[in-house]
Amino acid sequence: MANQQLIDYIKQQLQLGKNQEEIKTILLAKGWNETDVMEAFNLVAGRIASPPIPPSPAAPSYTTPSGSLPGATALLGETWGLYKQRLKTLFTIAIIPQLMIFAFAGLLVIMGITTAALLVGKLQTMAGGIVIVSILLGILFFFALLVVQLWSQVALVYALKDSEDIGSKEAYRRARPKIFSFWWISILTGIIVGAGFLFFFIPGFIFSIWFTFAIYVLIAEDIKGMDALLKSREYVRGHFGSVFGRLLFLMIVLFGVFILYFLASLLLSFVPIFGQIVGFLFTALLTPFVIAYYFLLYRQLKAVKGEFAFTPSAKTKTIFSLVIIAGVIISVVLMIVSTVVVSNLIKKQGEQEKKLEALEEAATDYWREFDINEIARYLALYADNHGVFPDSLERLVPDYFYSIPVDRKTNQPYKYQLKDEGKDFEVCAILSNGSEKCVNAKDIYYPPLPSPFPSSPAF
């Protein structure tokens, strides 16, 4: 049953600017019965006449902290309830970026088929034009999709934030002014967390938990830039382990969901386009749930902390600004070093390939000379047996060769011609450098050909 203490508390919180959902979360976390809480709200309705009392300017001064956070399973259950309640709006918001990706993929397929058809029809100029248009469209689409992705994430939070049941169109409308601020906070968070991971991982892990709720601070409290990151850290202060545990719990749940999705996608793999459609739908359904979980965790932290005025010190801002600068410098240095290292590796690989190519050419030339000298020997044997040289090399088959040797790289026959009215001959091979190597009857008894490979040292 609602008592005066409960009614007075609700009045006080309403005067401090909290909405009904936030107050209800606090009271349920304290152990109040939901029926009593709703009864108290009904009793309070219409009785508050005094204007809202602004929070104290002291920084940071906390008021009415409400104990510990609800458990991870309770948070998951609350997320599921909110998700089901707002599913239509959330899905509509989340599906728009997926539809853009699907439409662009279809456009690329059509352009690819058209380009292939033009190439088959030997219309290379038109095919080249389509390729250029495809590249330009790809660049434009990338930036357009980036904006829409940011916009949709902000719109999802607005659809969850406001107690009123707004539609997807209204959520997108309210989200539009926050797109750039959301992007800027994402950049700051990425740089700071990335810089933290460069310093032996642990700082990056801590920063990633601290600044998890910066975007929700931006949207729910209209606090921008570095201030949003630092207020997120203030919410997490004293609850780091609890926040990490709840995020880890969500990761475990999502891992199970992804396993089920992976198994389902294997069953659907025989119809590729259907599998892609299911993937887009899966993303559009899962993204709002994750954002709802994070948002409710943020709201619970805010309720537990109570109202407080927060003004980050200049020292704190300076420290994290230096972290950002260090992160940018380190990233640039790593990019330069990586570029130099990769360039050197590519250069060395090119040199090795040239050496291997030279060895391969030397070996190929060795066997070419070996072949034409072998042919010359059997031509001499043929002349000893028949009194003349053959008019073609095919005469040597099958008595002298099972098959006439051919160039081992080009698979072309060696050049053969009679000279000096049939008293001499010439067998020629084209070497790797383009020159022609020929042998004739006078070259039959030749010293052994030197190997193109260096000999092993004697021991």
Q: What is the mean pLDDT of residues 292-301?
A: 90
Q: How confident is the model at residue 48 (pLDDT cuts 50, 70, 90)?
A: very low
Q: Which amino acid is at 382?
A: Y
Helices (H), ranges, 121-178: 124-161, 168-175
Neighbouring-strand partners of residue 146: none
The rounded Cα 436 to chain-centroid distance in angstroms is 54
> What is the reported pLDDT for 120?
63
Q: Which amino acid is at 363?
A: A
Question: Do the Cβ atoms of 162 and 294 come closer than 8 Å?
Answer: no
Per-residue HEC secondary structure of 320-342 comes to HHHHHHHHHHHHHHHHHHHHHHH
- Does residue 374 register a pLDDT over 80? yes
pLDDT digits (tens, 9 = 90+) for 131-160: 777 778 778 888 888 888 888 888 888 888
> What is the reported pLDDT for 123?
58
pLDDT digits (tens, 9 = 90+) for 221-239: 888 888 888 888 888 888 8
Q: What percent of the chain has pLDDT over 70?
A: 85
CA distances from 392 to 383, 399, 437 (A): 13, 14, 19
Domain range list for the chain: 4-54, 72-182+233-302, 361-443
pLDDT digits (tens, 9 = 90+) for 386-434: 888 998 899 888 888 888 899 988 899 999 999 888 888 999 999 988 8
> What is the reported pLDDT for 249?
94
Question: Do the Cβ atoms of 346 and 103 come closer than 8 Å?
Answer: no
Residue 223 token pair:
């606090």
Closest CA to 374 of 406, 345, 331: 406
- Does residue 255 register a pLDDT over 90? yes
Q: What is the mean pLDDT of residues 199-216?
A: 85
pTM above 0.85? Answer: no
Q: Which amino acid is at 285?
A: L
More confident residue, 163 or 194: 194
> What is the reported pLDDT for 429?
93
CB-based contacts of 185: which residues, under 8 Å, 6+ apart?
Answer: 214, 215, 218, 224, 225, 228, 229
> What is the reported pLDDT for 29?
66
CB-based contacts of 170: which residues, under 8 Å, 6+ apart?
Answer: none
> What is the reported pLDDT for 163?
61
Phi (first) and psi of residue 311, to 5 degrees:
-130, 105
Q: How confident is the model at residue 289 (pLDDT cuts 50, 70, 90)?
A: very high
Q: What percent of the chain has pLDDT over 90?
A: 12
> What is the reported pLDDT for 272?
66
Element spanning 438, H or E: strand 436-439
* 299/288 Cα distance (integer angstroms): 16
* 362/368 Cα distance (integer angstroms): 10
Weakest mean pLDDT among 49-58, 75-84, 222-231: 49-58
* 234/214 Cα distance (integer angstroms): 10
Phi (first) and psi of residue 61, to 5 degrees:
-120, 120
CATH architecture, domain defined by 361-443: 2-Layer Sandwich (3.30)
Weakest mean pLDDT among 27-36, 165-174, 180-189: 27-36
Number of Cβ within 10 Å of residue 386's Cβ equals 10
> What is the reported pLDDT for 403?
87
User: Can you tell me which residue has the tokens 């300017």?
Assistant: 57
* 83/289 Cα distance (integer angstroms): 6
* 375/421 Cα distance (integer angstroms): 20
Weakest mean pLDDT among 56-60, 68-72, 261-265: 56-60
